Each structure stands twice: as structure tokens, then as C-alpha cells.
């Protein structure tokens, strides 16, 4: 019987950014942004095997029990699948810019502030040249030495990781996958995304004076309505956090249509 070729790198003590990405792409075989179901079983089985081969102690016990324990440890949002941010905690990445990113942008509020700073042309995307500036600042803040080729490699790796449609730029929802799962409030809006016409109608309803922007109180009411309409529960603390994060995109307390559209619509405005 032919032995199934094991994924390279799982046995390594340290992974480079591109090796980490190769592992991700190998296991997320359907490209949906998660390792789940059969993909997850294969990953866990091969990880166990690689660890044993590398002399790392692995507890005895049946597969199901070990896998359950593994998921309790790493599946931070308990959705039964592993996403890229969670995988970064499992694998020993040498230049772990995912963790480096989190030290710099630890909360969704900081993330939205950074987004506003680097989406310099307010297009709703961060493009390759803007991403490079973003990573350069990030590495400086983290006191990590780097040279131009390394910065270029990071930029390309992040694009390969998160640019799901291959257009060479990152939308807000793509880039937010760098956030810790618990902090990624944009995930909460999945399944609640609005079509452009629907968004325009809602925005017009709250922008009562037709000024083209809404304030924090109007955003508060809009979010409550959106959650009630979608029959989703949200406590006051969550609502406050989401509102604060989104208001970081505002201009002096004025949240313009374009900024809110980036968060609530399927595609950023063109």
C-alpha cells in the first residue's frame, strides 16, 4: 500500500512565513478560510505523527479524545474549525508577523484606526504599496529588524494569505482575518451583509438631514435595528465596542456613507 506523502514542514522547530502559508493552503483545501471537517482530521493526524517523529511527547489516548482536547486549547471561538489566526498559535512560526501584528493592533478599535491610516485613498482597500507601508511601521513598532527584501517577502506573503480574490489588494474583511478571533467584530456581521440598495435605504433613513454622514448615536440605533432585523443577540457592551470600532473610521465624529459601506456591504464601494 502506498504511503500517503506527509506535508512537509510540520516536523520543523521553526517555520518561515512562506512555509506556514504552504501548510495553510495544503489543509484549507477548499480555500474557504478554515480548516474543518476532514481537512481538520487530516491536519491533526499528520501533526501528531510529525510531533512523534520529532520526539515531541504526545499523550496516549484515543484519537477522538486527543482531538477534542486539542480543539479546546486552540479553537478560541469554539466554532469547531481552525482559522489562520488560530493556526498561528499552534505552529512555531519563526517570523510570526501574525503575532507581531497583534501586539501592534490588539483590538478591533486599533485595527480600524490603522485601516483608516493606511487606506490612504479611501478606496475601501489596502493595495500592495499601502500594505508595505503598513508592515514597515508594524515592524518598527515591534522593534523587529528587517531589510527591503524581507519587507517585500512579508508583503507578498500577506497578500497570498489574505487576498482571496487575487486582485492584488485587501478588503477590510480580508485584512481583518489578521485580528485575534475574539476581537474580530467584522466576523459578527457575516450573514448580515447588505446589498447596496438595502444599505442606501438604511443610511438614508438614519441620515435624516441628508448631510451624507451619521453620528455616533445614529450609528447606535442603526446597529440595534440591524441586529434585531437579523434576530441576533447582542449585549450593551458588545454594541458599545462595535460602535467604537466603526467610529474609528469616522472623520471628527462624522461617519460618512462610504466608510460605513465598507463594514456593512458585501463589496466596498467602487
What pLDDT does 97 receive? 59
Is 130 inside any structural domain? yes
Choose one of 139, 161, 183: the last residue of a domain: 183
Is 256 inside any structural domain? yes
What pLDDT does 3 receive? 41
Choose one of 162, 183, 204: the last residue of a domain: 183
pLDDT per residue, tens digit, the chain (270 aa), is: 444 445 567 666 667 767 777 888 888 888 777 889 888 888 888 888 876 765 555 555 687 888 888 888 888 778 888 877 678 777 766 555 566 666 666 567 777 777 888 887 777 788 877 888 887 877 776 677 778 887 887 788 778 777 777 788 888 777 776 666 556 666 666 666 778 888 888 889 988 888 889 988 888 888 888 877 777 766 777 778 888 888 888 888 889 888 888 888 765 444
165 in the same domain as 238: no
Choose one of 159, 183, 207: the last residue of a domain: 183
> Containing domain of residue 144, as a range?
97-183
Determine contact, residues 87/96, Cβ cutoff 8 Å: no
Is 3 inside any structural domain? no
231 in the same domain as 156: no
215 in the same domain as 144: no
253 in the same domain as 197: yes
Cα 152 to Cα 128: distance, rounded to the nearest angstrom: 10
166 in the same domain as 102: yes
Determine contact, residues 43/29, Cβ cutoff 8 Å: no
142 in the same domain as 112: yes
| H helix count then E strand count, the chain | 13, 6
What pLDDT does 150 receive? 78
Is 87 inside any structural domain? no
117 in the same domain as 166: yes
Is 246 inside any structural domain? yes
Determine contact, residues 105/179, Cβ cutoff 8 Å: yes
CB-count burial class (<10 Å; 0-12, 13-18, 19+) for 116: middle
The number of domains in the chain is 2
What pLDDT does 157 receive? 78
Is 38 inside any structural domain? no
Determine contact, residues 123/134, Cβ cutoff 8 Å: no
Is 26 inside any structural domain? no
The alpha carbon of residue 94 and the mean position of all alpha carbons in its chain are separated, in whole angstroms, by 20
Is 243 inside any structural domain? yes
What pLDDT does 186 receive? 64
- Does the pTM surpass 0.85? The reply is no
238 in the same domain as 198: yes
What pLDDT does 181 receive? 55
CATH number at residue 167: 1.10.238.10
201 in the same domain as 172: no
Amino acid at each position: 500500500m502506498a504511503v500517503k506523502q506527509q506535508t512537509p514542514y510540520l516536523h520543523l522547530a521553526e517555520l518561515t512565513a512562506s512555509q506556514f502559508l504552504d501548510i495553510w493552503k495544503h489543509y484549507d483545501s477548499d480555500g474557504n478560510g478554515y480548516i474543518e471537517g476532514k481537512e481538520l482530521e487530516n491536519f491533526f493526524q499528520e501533526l501528531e505523527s510529525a510531533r512523534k517523529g520529532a520526539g515531541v511527547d504526545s499523550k496516549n489516548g484515543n484519537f477522538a479524545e486527543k482531538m477534542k482536547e486539542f480543539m479546546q486549547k486552540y479553537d478560541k471561538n469554539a466554532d469547531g474549525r481552525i482559522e489562520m489566526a488560530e493556526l498561528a498559535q499552534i505552529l512555531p512560526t519563526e517570523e510570526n508577523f501574525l503575532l507581531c501584528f497583534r501586539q501592534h493592533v490588539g483590538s478591533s478599535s486599533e485595527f480600524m484606526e490603522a485601516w483608516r491610516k493606511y487606506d490612504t485613498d479611501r478606496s475601501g482597500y489596502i493595495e500592495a504599496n499601502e500594505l508595505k507601508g503598513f508592515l514597515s511601521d508594524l515592524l518598527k513598532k515591534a522593534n523587529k529588524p528587517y531589510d527591503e527584501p524581507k519587507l517585500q517577502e512579508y508583503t507578498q506573503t500577506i497578500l497570498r494569505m489574505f487576498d482571496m480574490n487575487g486582485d492584488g489588494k485587501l478588503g477590510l474583511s480580508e485584512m481583518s482575518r489578521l485580528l485575534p478571533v475574539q476581537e474580530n467584530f467584522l466576523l459578527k456581521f457575516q450573514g448580515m451583509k447588505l446589498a447596496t440598495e438595502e444599505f442606501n435605504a438604511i443610511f438614508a433613513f438614519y441620515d435624516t438631514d441628508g448631510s451624507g454622514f451619521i453620528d455616533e448615536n445614529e450609528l447606535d440605533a442603526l446597529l440595534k435595528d440591524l441586529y434585531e432585523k437579523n434576530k441576533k443577540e447582542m449585549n450593551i457592551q458588545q454594541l458599545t465596542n462595535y460602535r467604537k470600532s466603526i467610529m474609528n473610521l469616522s472623520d471628527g465624529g462624522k461617519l460618512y456613507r462610504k466608510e460605513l459601506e465598507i463594514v456593512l456591504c458585501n463589496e466596498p464601494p467602487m
